[in-house]
Structure 1
Amino acid sequence: MSFLAPASLGSFADAYPLSPTMLRHSLMGQPLLSVEALAKAALELPPEYVERRIGNAAKGGEFKMDGSDDANVANVIRSIDTSGNWVMLRFVEQLPAYRELLDRLMDQIGPAIAPSTGPGLTVRGFIFISAPGTLTPFHFDCEYNMLFQIAGDKHFATYHPGPPWLPFDRHEAYYGAGGNMLPWNDAYEAEADVHHLQPGDALFVPYASPHWVKAGAEPSISLSITWQSQWSEAVGNAMHVNPLLRRWGLPTGNMPTWPKAPKWRSLSCRVARKARLL
């Protein structure tokens, strides 16, 4: 069974890897993505891979963790329409049934991405369960992402992965265990490429593209499948080794743009890791 419409896969292949692209899918009735199945999955995952946050953040504000001791996360998910929370199930590929679902999706995505960036590497799965109106603040993720809207709707705003939206120092700091939240400027509002996702819509988000997300008037469920490429892994290595090279008085260069890869810096990073310098 094909989850992705062949016609939308063709347009995605044409736009990949640099441009956000809308696709169509048929995952809405997938039992693993029902509220009850997700409540059970939250209990099966190790606790450190289940995040619960308060869904009243601002675009430049803190996305606060909800550390309530008296709330079972499964019950929070079951009552997501009134809980005021945002829940993320991280690395769901740890659960065999979800691993199989991600594998089937990657089998369909793979032929569209391979000609440009090669096979998808380090495939991960994330599921987001959002209370009505939840805003995920302005941030970036250092991976390629395809997000499938399952229930409810949301507005997903994307930006070019470079200055002023993604400053170089923020991108570099991420690889040194820095955060992925970004400073907000109200002028960015008019510069967003806003995608309105409804059930059956999917959105490809390019590597490191800054974005914010706002859920609609109903509870939202979304599935993200993410991957790396040889190019994105090389960029990550280069950004990680940059501070070390700088301390040694060596050049670090600018942020590489696809398809140009920072080969010598990536190699330097691998050598530094083996020498336990990173």
Structure 2
Amino acid sequence: MNTVHSIAQVRAAVSRAREEGKRIGLVPTMGNLHAGHIALVRTALARGDFVVVSIFVNPMQFGPNEDLDSYPRTLSEDQAKLFDAGAHLLFAPNATEMYPDGLNGHTQVSVPVVSEGLCGGSRPGHFNGVATVVSKLFNIVQPDLAVFGEKDYQQLAVIRKMTQDLSLPVHIVGEPTCRAEDGLALSSRNGYLTPRQRQQAPLLYQQLQQIAAAVQSGRRDYAAIIETARHSLESAGFTADYLDLRDADSLAAIGPDTRTGVALAAAFLGKTRLIDNLRFSMRPKQG
């Protein structure tokens, strides 16, 4: 596996692969890789012939009081994991390579409606940063397919909408969330948790399961279901950012025609912000 740091180097490597008739896969990441990231790489390898992984902690998607400076950067360890996984090329640019004139005044990509509320509501500008950097990566690599994790459910929806609206010739693949044995969704930010917080953290997913079970039992008092889950989390020491139920396909509010719902949550445990989601059929379970 080769590691490159410039746009010109990536384009040259991808051009050679294309000349050999290879199908190009892209896995965008911010590094500090875990088993969930490696699952994305393996999916890309199964569907493509030449897999590019990017590692870039994108300053445009961080707010002024977020963890840009402290976000874990573990390039050497990440390189070893990607080599073992079988990735072909690692693109690890710095901010100057991606934003040579700085962030102020840089063109931004905005995806309306689907980016509103949820994480978009609590992190203003976040999805503009995500859509912009992913758009840049698509233009740099020009992949046939790109793989993203479903843990960041709204992010995946934003990227799908952007790709569709801009007629980008990239097939977007969603990879199911990887979880620890106790159900906690794998995340680079899990490393911020204290040992005690790590024991408490799986409650977030458990509450999503409770929400889904309540809806599948036939309940439609969504506000009450959400409030019960919020109370359980806050009683356990979480600070809920949001809990919500949406149509899994559109991220609109659940309506009478919704066939598949998704329960979504973000909550702070100490200073660590955890996000998770769970898709489920709206049809009541048959006894």
Per the TM superposition, whether the score is higher than 0.5 is no
TM bracket (short chain)? 0.3 to 0.5
Higher relative contact order (CA 8 A, sep 6+): 1
TM-score scaled by length of structure 1: 0.32
